[in-house]
Amino acid sequence: MADPDARFEALLAKFRERDHRITPQRLALLRLLAASEGHPSASQIHEQLHAQFPTMSLATVYKTLNLLKEMGEILELGFGDDDNRYDANEPFPHPHLICIRCHKIIDPEVPEYRALAHEVAATSGFRVVSHRLDFYGICPDCQRLEAG
């Protein structure tokens, strides 16, 4: 995706814009999110930040993530069983491909998926405002391990 530094600056600008205070904890969290390629969970984020800030609490991670969610700057992926995952690089609904073995999440290219939402709206009378398109399977790496 785009330049991590640019994304970090954009997130920071949004914080200032809305008069949210810039604390060292928040700076570190924004930097981490902007740089992350994957879809980290709250506790994974907490774990990493705890290395830099030994007093960093999970509650602060959640509070900041919720702030970002309200601001529309991150996408929260909730799962029934597993913990939530966060995507700060594409904070709008898009398809996901989830490995049921290693829990890796990737963003596949599915150009036609937008057409589906339109069709569903047209035939059902719903005003569709969001969606969730998740495909579950076994990623190439885990297939290799199984075969080996």
What track of x and - describes contact with DNA for positions 19 through 58 (by CB under 7 A)?
-xxxxxxx--------------xxx---------x-xxxx
Between CA 83 and CA 12 the distance in angstroms is 26
- Which among 108, 84, 85 is positioned nearest to 96, based on CA atoms? 108
Q: Should residue 12 be labelled a site residue for DNA when binding is judged by CB under 7 A?
A: no
What track of x and - describes contact with a copy of itself for positions 29 through 68 (by CB under 8 A)?
----------------------------------------
Between CA 106 and CA 83 the distance in angstroms is 16
Residue number with CB closer to a copy of itself (34 or 68): 68
42-52 and 24-35 helices, crossing angle to 10°:
120
Footprint of a copy of itself (CB under 8 A):
76, 78-81, 84, 95, 97, 99-100, 106, 108-110, 112-113, 116-117, 119-121, 123-140, 143
